[in-house]
Amino acid sequence: MKALWAALRKDLLLQWRTRAQAAAVYAFGASALLLFSFAVGPQAALLREQAAGFLWLGLMLSSTLTLAESFQAEAEQRALEGLLLLPASATALYYAKALANTTALFLLGTGLLPMMVILYDAATPRVPPLLGIVLLGSAGLSAPGTLYAAMTSQARARQTLLPLLLFPLVVPVLLASVKATSLIIHGDPMGQLGSWTLLLTCFNVIHWSLCGLLFERVVED
């Protein structure tokens, strides 16, 4: 546990030092939401109906930039090999990196929410449940994204390979996140929010468990 917290502190510190890059990723996500709104047109009802889908599409596209660069410092300095020689398991290093990526994606998603409200007229009084879904969805993207980022960190075309590997795997996470977000925005007369949240939680448990087990084999290869 001590090794996990030390590695997490290191990853969070690296993200803080590269916060200019985080601002660029946010600008990319906000631009994507703006372009999606142009594609729909000026119909307010249609914009509001599609708000949840476009929010998560923008977050998913932006996440590839964050995840692809999450191992950049280790790859450039060949620091990952040194970390593996420390008295800390590869599993602890994975969970530290995944938690740091989850934090970055959650902050990105939280920052995109005001853009969604402004562009799509999707204001909702149920902010805490919405933030909870953003957190669960961010974790669902981060767990497999961190594993695939480690797999592609040595490749020159890592920013191309990562989406090709990640997007098919996170379709259930994206679907559950979009549906839950839409129910929060538009109302939930049939009481379906709990089922979609449970589905999203189950996918998180599966991804975080399996990816943690597979990470050691990935970095050793």
Tens-place pLDDT, residues 172-213 = 999 999 999 999 998 888 889 999 999 999 999 999 999 888
Q: Domain boundaries in the chain?
A: 2-220
Tens-place pLDDT, residues 80-89 = 655 655 556 7
Does residue 133 come out as left (phi exceeding 0), alpha (psi in the -120 to 50 range) or beta?
alpha
Lookup: tokens for 34: 């703006």
| pTM for the model | 0.88
CA distance 17 to 38: 34
| Amino acid at the residue 151 | M
